[in-house]
Structure formats: C-alpha cells, structure tokens
Amino acid sequence: MVCDGGRIQWVGSARLAPQADDELEVEGFLMPGVADRHVHIGLADPGAVLLGGVTAVRDLAWPPDVIFPLADASELPAFNGPLIRAAGPMLTAPGGYPTTDRWAPAGTGLEIKGAEQAAKAVVAMADRGAAAIKVSLNAEAGPTPTDRELAAIVQAAGERGLPVTAHVQGAGQAERALGAGVNEFAHCPWTERLSESVLEAAAKAMRIVSTLDIWSYGAVTAELRMAADNMARFRAAGGTVVYGTDLGNGAIPPGIDVREVLLLRETVGMTSDEILEALVAGPLEPGAPADLIALARDPREDLTALGDLKLVTRAGRVVTAT
Ligand SMILES: [Zn+2]
C-alpha cells in the first residue's frame, strides 16, 4: 500500500508497489481503522482511543461549544486522537433526558419547545457542522419531544441532508421513531421486545448502532438479552447494524472493544465478515483516508485479533504511545 497526503494512493502486492519516500514493513493483517458510531469523547482519552485502533468516532451528545471546536481540531495533523464527527447536543423536551443525568454536563441536552423551535435547533446545529441530529426519546427518564416536534426535527434534518439518530427507551418509543422517519437507533432498543412488523419496517428504513457491551460489560444481563434478540431479528429482516459502543458513558475500554465484537457474533449471530464490515467506514481503496490498523492475526479466523494491534496509522502517520 502507498499513502500520500493522508490518503491511500495505491493498494496491492508489495512487489508491484510504486516507489515511495518512506517504507514501513509490517507483518500482519491490514485493514481500515475502526469507526465507533456512538461515543462521548469528552468522557474518554482521545489518544488512547486512537492507539487502540479506533481512527474515527461520532460523538452523540455533548455541549456544542466544546464538541464542535474539538471536531474541527481533530482534522489537524497535530491532533492526538481519532477523527471526530459530532451531533452536538441531544434534542429533548424541557426537563427530559439527559438534562438531569449526572454523566451529562450542562448543554449536553438542548431543550426544545414547539415544532418551530425544534426545526431552528436542527438548522443551528447543521450550521455548526453537525454530522447527525440526535433526539432523546427516553420516556423512562422524563418527558420526550411531541410527535409534531419530532416530525419537525426529521424534516429539518432531511432538508440539510443530515441523518437523525434516536435514543429510544420505554414502551412505544421505538415505534414513534420509526413512524416519524428517524434514520437510526443510537442503541439497539433494549427495554422492550419489538414486534416482527416493527422490526421489518425498521430494517427497511433504519440502521442500528450496536452498543451491546454497555448493557453487560462482559456479563449476561436482561438488557443485553433483550437488545441482542431485537438486533438478531432486525438483521434477519435485512437490517444494517454498525459498530458503536457508547464509549465514555460506562466501563467501555478505549479503542476497539473486543467484547462488543464478540457479542455481535455470540448473541446476534453475525459472521466475521459481517462484523468487519460493521466496524469500518469503508473499504481500503485509493482515495480512502490512510487510517489503517495492522493486526497480529487474521480476524476472520479469530476475532480476538482485533485486540492484538501491531500498527495504527491516522492520515498516513504512524500512531505511537505518547
Ligand atoms: Zn450515548
């Protein structure tokens, strides 16, 4: 592989590679760096996340005055951490989740009142560079946006080309998200068993960010069983699952969470190839970012190889412990 200017320029057998200024020889399995689609990077160590093989993250709720400048800074070569994309704050009802939750600093939730204000909040976040819009539908923790507000959020986000991702918790909230045209579940729903018809409709219209380990930390729990059951049936209906951990919001290790990977196989039944696809943002090909990891073994034969890193690069630079 040859990289130039932070991007992959050429992929193929070393013998056929064009001349390069610097050469690095690594024996192992080379693949794109891992993308974690659900983090709270402000509660984690970005350098440790990158060193652990995660080269891109999407932050799903943090105060906008902190997270958007950090996302900008993450594009610079000097930044010691993954590329950060952010949703900004979670849109919620007055007093709703996560405005009173201890993990969330002031500004992590943005309280909206009325459809007009909801749409304006989406536009404001889009103008600041949001990569997605996050909405809180957590009926167990407090009030949630109304159906009219939710519809306004989805419409305004659609007009700006932004996906809407929802935290759904409590009876009927997954159905509300689906009915409103939300694009993604930020966690696989874990509080209710979803019906086949809901999962079939969701499989056509939405994707799921996995976050199984956040319910279990290596143990078997009722929440894990419920989420895995919904996810397995969602996948059987043709739905897409992407890797995400909710890093920062619990005892999730920085970098690739091998427990999350193993849960996708053991509790959801995904194949190694399907899991590898869920872990990365795109294939290794010319033009892709030179965000790479090398593993000591082939993860298609042994998924624990994802915890055995020999090399991490970000934008073509070799990442080392500092
Ligand atoms: Zn989260």
pLDDT of residue 4: 92
Identify whether 141 is part of a domain: yes
Distance 98 CA to ligand 1 centre (A): 10
Does 13 have pLDDT greater than 90? no
Q: 218 pLDDT band (50/70/90 cuts)?
A: confident
Please tell me the predicted confidence (pLDDT) of residue 276: 98
User: Does 311 reside within a domain?
Assistant: no
**Omega before residue 163 within 30° of 0, cis:** no
285 C-alpha vs ligand 1 centroid, how far in Å?
Answer: 31
Chain mean pLDDT for the chain: 96
Cα angle 236, 241, 245; round to 5? 135
Can you give the pLDDT at residue 311? 96
Is residue 320 assigned to a domain? Answer: no
Which pLDDT value is given to residue 255?
A: 97
Distance from residue 214's CA to the centre of ligand 1 (Å): 9
Write out the E strands in 257-300.
292-295
**CA 110 to centroid of ligand 1, rounded, Å:** 15
Instruction: Give 250's pLDDT tier (boundaries 50, 70, 90).
Output: confident
Write out the DSSP string of 94-146. Answer: TT-TTTT-TTS-TTSEEE--SHHHHHHHHHHHHHTT-SSEEEEEETTTS----
303 assigned to some structural domain: no
Q: Would 309 be classed as within a structural domain?
A: no
**CATH code of residue 49:** 3.20.20.140
Look at residue 58 and give its three-state secondary structure: strand
Closest CA to 93 of 141, 59, 61, 130: 141
Question: What pLDDT, in 10s, does the model give residues 258-275?
Answer: 999 999 999 999 999 999
Question: Are 294 and 33 in contact, with CB atoms under 8 Å apart?
Answer: no
Spatial CA neighbour of 135 closest among 112, 114, 117: 112
Tell me if residue 12 falls in helix, strand or coil: coil
227-236 tens-digit pLDDT: 999 999 999 9
pLDDT score, position 14 = 84
Task: Assess contact for 108 and 135: CB atoms under 8 A.
Answer: no
* CA 156 – ligand 1 centroid, Å: 22
Confidence (pTM):
0.97
Q: Is residue 184 part of a domain?
A: yes
- Residue 210's domain comprises 33-290
Residue list, CB under 5 A from ion ligand 1: 246, 249
The domain tally of the chain equals 1
> Ligand 1 mean position to 234 CA, how many Å?
21
Task: Over range 239-251, report the average pLDDT.
Answer: 95
Q: Is position 46 within any domain?
A: yes
Q: Determine the distance separating the centroid of ligand 1 and the alpha carbon of 15, expressed in angstroms.
A: 45
Cα separation of 243 and 55, whole Å? 13
Contact call for residues 46 and 21 (beta carbons, < 8 A): no
| Alpha carbon of 126 to ligand 1 centroid (Å) | 20
pLDDT of 116 strictly over 80: yes
Q: Nearest 10 degrees: CA dihedral of 283, 286, 289, 295?
A: 50
Query: What 3-state DSSP class applies to 288?
Result: coil
The answer for 65, left when phi > 0, alpha when psi is -120 to 50, beta otherwise, is: alpha
d(CA 50, ligand 1 centre) in Å: 19
Q: How many angstroms is it from 135 CA to the middle of ligand 1?
A: 11
pLDDT digits (tens, 9 = 90+) for 138-195: 999 999 999 999 999 999 999 999 999 999 999 999 999 999 999 999 999 999 999 9
HSE (side-chain half, CA atoms, 13 Å) at 106: 0
Q: What is the CA(255)–ligand 1 centre distance, in A?
A: 16
Does residue 321 surpass a pLDDT of 80?
no
106 part of a folded domain: yes
pLDDT band at 241 (very low <50, low <70, confident <90, very high): very high
Q: Could you read off the pLDDT of 28-55 as tens digits, one per residue?
A: 999 999 999 999 999 999 999 999 999 9
CA 12 to centroid of ligand 1, rounded, Å: 38
